[in-house]
Structure formats: structure tokens, C-alpha cells
Structure 1
Amino acid sequence: MAQAQRPNLIYIVCDDLGYADLGCYGGREADFGAVSPNIDRLAAGGMRFTQGYSNSPVCSPTRFAIMTMRYQYRLRGAMEEPINSRSKGSTTLGLPPEVPTLPSLLKKAGYHTALIGKWHLGYPPAFGPRRSGYDEFFGIMAGGVDYFTHCSSSGEHDLYVDEEEHHEVGYLTDVLSQRAVDHVHQRAADAKAGKPFMLSLHYTAPHWPWETRDDAHVASDVAKNLFHLHGGDVQTYRRMIHHMDEGIGRLMAALREHGLEENTLVVFTSDNGGERFSDNWPLVGGKMDLTEGGIRVPWIAHWPAAIPAGSVSTQHCMSMDWSATVLEAGGGQADPDWPLDGVSLLRVLRDPAQRFERPLYWRMNHRGQRALRDGDWKYLRVDGNEYLFNISMDERERANLMAREPERLVRMREQWLAWDASVPPIPADATVSLGYSVRDMPQR
């Protein structure tokens, strides 16, 4: 692809969003109306995927996959479920700077790269966004912070410009959105002159604590306990999504203002399935689970110059595939010493009729979980119990067909074991931070 034709790239990742939280995925309206009108417009003007997955049902492991375009299990830091405060000062629990990443490879290809939002892949001085390919960073290093004080669960202030602590008043979702809008304004002239940009916009919304922009008066009390077990409600959760949606609307308006929307690839997703207030219908389970509700997530791609509007795809895919797609769209090349596990979906974006089959694998230290999706079928193991589901007929994973299909069960079990032998084992000292583990989501 000629340099002047290469798209700008915006990779939006939200945090703990449920499969059916968005209107375009069947979500219900809240008492204030539509929850996600701007994201819904992205889907209407682009392509929506109904069989898309995250690489993990918990945040930082998925982010390793997004960054490296490889199964996260290949790196020690991603064995944590997820990285927590004990990794501060560690030289092993993070994304090693020598590992090629999506931003580092795009930077080599001539892109200006920036991350606005959540990093959660290890702490300086050993790790950090600027050490892994980003020209600029504004955001948080930890997994979650209070939306007003910007303090992590350990009570430490956690908002940075590059690696310098930065203090700013404001509701975090709005602060990140405004930074992204400002970034488009700053990069527009270069983008028009043939120097495209890659922006990772990684929101913390709708991750706990459950605070809307109108809750500043109670933020000091909530900040004392970020897990906020006694608080929150569905309407607050939906407003948090709506605040993020409003910011995405302003971002798209900035692209249009500069004539950049037509040739900008915008990808939207979540890092894993939803938590306590999420709507995952018709799926069951949620964050920390390898049932469909923990790993099936929204995937939306908007690129008017290349993607037919109103498209829907049933292509099976996961986080690392989308990063491989963004890399190919930008003309970047994988490092031959670090071959990709992700498979580019660019051909599917250009032609919705295109579809290909490939197996998808997962494993979790938590509850000894294993999963394999291959075609219509899914093999699942939890707490030593095995399951076999035909997902095309049973998305709710209710009918365990292992007794009716014993040969398929054996074949898929052996297939998973062969894959598992190809990646490093989970070390004994890897930790699990449960947060809010969802066993079964509330039903409609």
C-alpha cells in the first residue's frame, strides 16, 4: 500500500464491557435513552462481528496479546491473572521492551504512535508504553483507578504523561476522551501530508468503581475502597458506558472536521467479558470465566474507504487477530524472530463474504480452565469437569454433548493438549486476582 494511502489507525479498547451492553448488540435502552448511539453508528457505518473473542477473560493478559499479536502465554508477565501491585519493581512481570509490538512495528513503518488510557502491562523502570513503541503516553499504569482522584486501589496517584506523574482535575473518561480529540487535532496536518498516526485509546470505563461524571461529591468515599462491593447499580453502569460513547462521538467529529474519517480505520472492543452489572445475553458467565460470557466481546470496525457499511460477519476471531489486522492495514511487517499467532482479518473487512476457519485456544490458572473453539464446537474444562458444546446451536452452553460425541471430545481434548505443549507452562508462583468473578450473569 502506498504511504499516502495508508489509513490512520484508532484502536479503542474499553474495560469489562458485556457482550450485549451496546445497542447494536441487542442492549436495552436505559432510563435516559440509548446507551451507545455513537458506537452504534460506527457499527452501522462499518462491520460488526458476532463471533469475536478476547484473548483472555481478564484484562492484562488480553492486553499482552493486543500488543504482541501472539498468544499471551508466551510471556511470563501474562501468566498473572491479572498483573497487580506486587509487580511494582519487578523485572519479569511486564511487557519486555525487546518484544516487538503493534506500535513499535507501525512506528518502523512510519506511523506516529500514541497510547491514551490504560497500560496495565508492568511498571517503570523495567516496563512502560514509551519502552514498547509508543511515541506518546497519557494515562494510567495500573488496572483501575478512581475516576476523580485518579488513585489506584493501593491509594497511589496514577496518572502520567509519559513517565512523569501528572495531576489534572476531571472525570477520567472525559479526560481521556478530550486528550484523544486533542491528539487528532494535533496530528491532522501531518496525517494529510502522508504521516499517518496510530492512536490506542484504552478507556477504563466501565470498570469499577461505579461512578458517573455526576458523582464527584461521593468520590472521596468510594476511593477508600475501589472494589466498591456495597455500591453501584445498573443505571450507573450504563451511564458510564454512555459517557465513553459521548467521547467517541466527539472523537469521530474531530476526524470529520479534518476530513480524516474516510481513511481512518477505527476498531472498537472490550478486553474481556462483563462484570456484575453487565448484560451478556444470550451468553452465560463473565469476567474470569472461559464460558462465552467471559470471552465473547463486541468487535466493531469502521473504515468508510474500505469496509462496506452495515456489514455483519460471523468470522471467528480474537484480540491478537485484530492487532495483526491493524498492522497489515498500516503496511507494517512482523519481526521474523517473533512470528505472529494472530491472523489478519483485512480480507474479511474488505469483503464480508470472506470467511476462514482456524482454532482458538484459551487457558486460565483460575479454576484450571481450558477452552478450544473450533468451527461450531467448543471444548471446555472447568474445575476438572469437561464439557462439549455446539455453540452454533447452543450459545448458552447448556447442553453438554460429551456423552453423545465421545470421539469428538477426545479429539478436541488432545488438540488442546497439543497446543498447550507448544506454549510455556503456567508457573507455580503465578497469581490470580479475582476482583468480581461472575459465575452466571443475570438473565432477561
Structure 2
Amino acid sequence: STQYRLKLLSVDMMTLLLLLLFLCEAQSWVASKPNFVLLMADDLGIGDPGCYGNKTLRTPNIDRLARGGVKLTQHLAASPLCTPSRAAFMTGRYPVRSGMASQSQVGVFLFSASSGGLPPSEITFAKLLKDQGYSTALIGKWHLGISCHDPGDFCHHPTSHGFDYFHGLPLTNMRDCKLGEGSVFTAAFRLLVLLPMQLIAVALLTLVVLKWLGLFRAPPCAFLFLFLLATLLLGLLLGFLHYFRPLNCFLMRNRDITQQPMSYDNLTQRLTADAAHFLRRNAETPFLLVLSFLHMHTALFSSKDFAGKSQHGSYGDAAEEMDWSVGGKANNWEGGIRVPGIVRWPGVIQAGLEIDEPTSNMDIFPTVAKLMGSPLPQDRVIDGRDLMPLLRVRTRRSGHEFLFHYCNSYLNAVRWHPPN
């Protein structure tokens, strides 16, 4: 069937999100102060987890969460790219409203020195919770900018957007960060280095042939100029390749760099252990933990305990390691924006429920605000809708009649859910 084929779409070129929301009651707090644990996976397709129909990738922990909670079958990311989708997730707003939808072709931040990021004026659900006395942490990938005007102002950093604690990758996990995985800049290298080098080689060969035939006597400085130009291009390429990893692929704890360049050795285990430590440290206080996996974005990686163990190569190994930690990219086709979504709250939300109504990753912001009794900001549009009426079966209809999808800053598609 068409639905079955959609579930099996390849996600090599998709940025997808897996959102697992747990709400549990801290022993020393009343039910009006639930704790929040949000798990986000990067580039995980809706057809990858076993609970969404995959028969060969082993995701027993994610499947167990689905059995004990609610599975959203029409959960949609606000964008098929990392940066704008994460901005929408954090703020409950379309990325075009916050200026996080690029007008360029790239659409995401690639360098630590990139200008821009999530504006300080934006309100994240972490800010709302922090104002209510919650301990807040983001562990893993951020990808919403670092600084504004000065390398040390950290105006776009997670700690400036409501998170008391940050440990992870401030940018993104690119294949350039792992030796042997290739480069996202291959096309640029061909245009800016390989093509000029080929033209220089043709020019040199032409001058040599013309000189040999006696048709043209080029001055020695012409050969020297072309040689120096080729040397300069090659030097710039080698310099870029040498310095890119340490300058852009590093781990931070709060505002300090802790590993540069970062090592992939047991990286998932290290971040997961830190997340577990945060939960233990804040067991007696209300908390928010966002565990933002580097999986499944390239570069693909896994520890020796998972390498070569799946039936799907390095992608499957990474998926199964990501599942262990739980205990189409770039287009608006269904496989690029439709993502796995699981919500679990024992004793409050019915276990084993499946909801086919359209929901969005923007819905987390108003849902969190509602649960902690905080009013939504009145000075801006919030595009997300409170999920709790759907999750508690108080209504059988999504609050979204329309969901808009953009190709960067340009409207590309609309999902319409007619009232009748």
C-alpha cells in the first residue's frame, strides 16, 4: 500500500526528528509540577523504529515506550532541515517568524563562526520552565547558533535560552567531523578548487605546446604566476581540511570547550551517562532534560558494542545504539517532514493509544506551558497547539486545520485538515 511504502522511505537525505516526551511526578512535588524529559533523534525516519513497522532494525526500548504511551502516526516536523526545525521545536513557532528560515540554499549553520542564531528575544519552553523554578539541561546537539557580535557573548548559546546546563555539540554532526566519511563541501571543492586547477593545467599545457611549436613565446612570469596560483588554491584546500575539524567539531560543557576536535569513541554512552547523572542530581526538584541525539545525522558512528551488529550497515548500527540510549532530508515530501512521535505519562495518558490526527513538533511548547500553568506569551503568535486534549482523549480532533511547510523561507506545501 502507499502508506506502507511511505514508512519504508530512505532517509539518507532527510532531517527527521524522533520526539519522545515523558512526564513524571517528582516525589517532593505535586502533580502540577511534572518533570519533562524530551528525547530528540536527528535523521531518524518514520519507518525506522520497530513500533512503526520496521521488522529488521532492533529498537526494543523505543518500542516499549510506544506500548506504554501514545504513538503519533501523523506527527510533522516544521521543517526538513535541522536548524529551522529545532527553532520551531524550541519556540512553538514557524521558523519564518523567528528569522530562522534561511533565504540561502544551505539553510543551516555549518561553521562555529556563522553569524546568526536563535534570537535572544525568542522565548523557549526552557525559559518558561526556568522561570517557574525548574532545573533545565540540554545534552547533545544544539545547532541554533553560539554568539552574536563577539565570540564570547554567547547570545545564541543554550545557556542564554533557558538551559542551566549544556553538554554537547553546539553545531551539527557533519561527515567532515569524522575522518573517512567524506565532506558536505564536495560540490564547493569541485567548483572552487578542482575546476580552477583544471583550467590552470590546461593553460600551462597550452603555453608549453605553443612554445614548443614556436607559435608563441610566453614570458617566464606567466608560468610562475600559474604555478603560484595553483599552489595557493591547493594550500587553501589543505588548510581548510586541516583546520575545519578542530574549529567546528568540538564538544562544550556550558560555555567551555571540553574536547576539540571531538572524539566519537563511546560518545553516545558519555552523553547518556551525563543525562542520567542530571536526573539523579535533580531527583528532588522539578526538572527539564532535553537529550538531543547526534544520531542519525551523518557522520554515522557507533561504539564497538554496536558496530557491525545490525542488518543495515553503519546506519542500522547507529540506530540500534541510539535505541540503547533510550533505555529524505531537505524536502517537503512526506518522508522529509513526517516523523516518529511518542508521548508517555504513566497513570495520566492511556497506554497503547494510537493517534492519527496531524500534530507538530511545535506543539511541545504550548503543551509544556499548559501543564505547568504558565500563560502563553501574548506579544507573539504561537503556532503550536496543546496536545493534552488529544492525548487524554478529551477530543478526537487535532487543533491544526492547516500546517504550512517551507523550503527555507519560501512556502512550499500546506497540509489541510478540513473541519468536516
Q: TM-score, normalised by structure 1?
A: 0.65
Structure 1 residue 216 displacement after superposition: 11
Query: Aligned residue pairs: how many?
Result: 315
The letter for the 2-side match of 1:100 is I
Structure 1 residue 3 displacement after superposition: 5.8
In structure 1, the partner of 2:279 is 184
Aligned partner of 1:293 among 335, 348, 356: 335
Listed one character per residue, the Cα deviations across residues 23-75 of structure 1 (whole Å, up to 9, x for unaligned) are 00001224xxxx21001110100000111100001111000001111111112
Does the alignment pair 1:208 with 2:298?
A: yes
Does the alignment pair 1:43 with 2:86?
A: no
Aligned partner of 1:27 among 54, 60, 69: 54
Does the alignment pair 1:197 with 2:287?
A: yes
In structure 2, the partner of 1:108 is 131
Partners of 1:46 and 1:7 lie apart in 2 by: 16
Partners of 2:111 and 2:171 within 8 A in 1: no
Go from structure 1 to structure 2 and tell me whether the alpha carbon gap of 1:339 and 1:49 turns closer, same or farther (over 3 Å shift). same
For the residue of structure 2 that corresponds to 1:137, the secondary structure is strand
In structure 1, the partner of 2:252 is 160
In structure 1, the partner of 2:167 is 138
Partners of 1:105 and 1:333 within 8 A in 2: no
Partners of 2:319 and 2:394 lie apart in 1 by: 28
For the residue of structure 1 that corresponds to 2:74, the secondary structure is coil
Partners of 2:110 and 2:172 within 8 A in 1: no
Moved over 3 A (4+): 145-149
In structure 2, the partner of 1:53 is 76
For the residue of structure 2 that corresponds to 1:41, the secondary structure is helix
Q: List aligned pairs for 1:38-437, cutoff 5 A.
A: 38-79=61-102, 81-86=106-111, 88=113, 90=115, 93-124=116-147, 125-145=154-174, 154-156=244-246, 157-167=249-259, 170-188=265-283, 190=284, 195-214=285-304, 234-249=312-327, 286-351=328-393, 354-356=396-398, 357-365=400-408, 370-375=412-417
Go from structure 1 to structure 2 and tell me whether the alpha carbon gap of 1:216 and 1:29 turns closer, same or farther (over 3 Å shift). closer
Partners of 1:115 and 1:200 within 8 A in 2: yes
Does the alignment pair 1:12 with 2:39?
A: yes
Specify every segment of 5 or more residues in structure 2 that has no aligned partner in the other structure, as ranges.
Answer: 1-24, 148-153, 185-243
Q: TM-score, normalised by structure 2?
A: 0.69
For the residue of structure 1 that corresponds to 2:76, the secondary structure is coil
Partners of 1:55 and 1:319 within 8 A in 2: yes
The letter for the 1-side match of 2:281 is Q
Go from structure 1 to structure 2 and tell me whether the alpha carbon gap of 1:364 and 1:145 turns closer, same or farther (over 3 Å shift). closer
Partners of 1:108 and 1:332 within 8 A in 2: no
For the residue of structure 2 that corresponds to 1:10, the secondary structure is strand
Partners of 1:145 and 1:158 within 8 A in 2: no
Structure 1 residue 334 displacement after superposition: 2.1
Tell me which moved more, 301-310 or 175-184: 175-184
Structure 1 residue 305 displacement after superposition: 2.5
Structure 1 residue 244 displacement after superposition: 1.2
Tell me which moved more, 343-352 or 232-241: 232-241
Partners of 1:369 and 1:215 lie apart in 2 by: 44
In structure 2, the partner of 1:394 is none
For the residue of structure 1 that corresponds to 2:128, the secondary structure is helix
Partners of 2:273 and 2:397 lie apart in 1 by: 37
The letter for the 2-side match of 1:298 is P
Partners of 1:78 and 1:94 within 8 A in 2: no
Partners of 1:373 and 1:87 lie apart in 2 by: 35
Specify every segment of 5 or more residues in structure 1 that has no aligned partner in the other structure, as ranges.
Answer: 218-231, 250-285, 378-444
In structure 2, the partner of 1:426 is none
Partners of 1:57 and 1:287 within 8 A in 2: yes
The letter for the 1-side match of 2:98 is L
For the residue of structure 2 that corresponds to 1:308, the secondary structure is coil
Partners of 2:178 and 2:371 lie apart in 1 by: 37
Structure 1 residue 352 displacement after superposition: 7.0
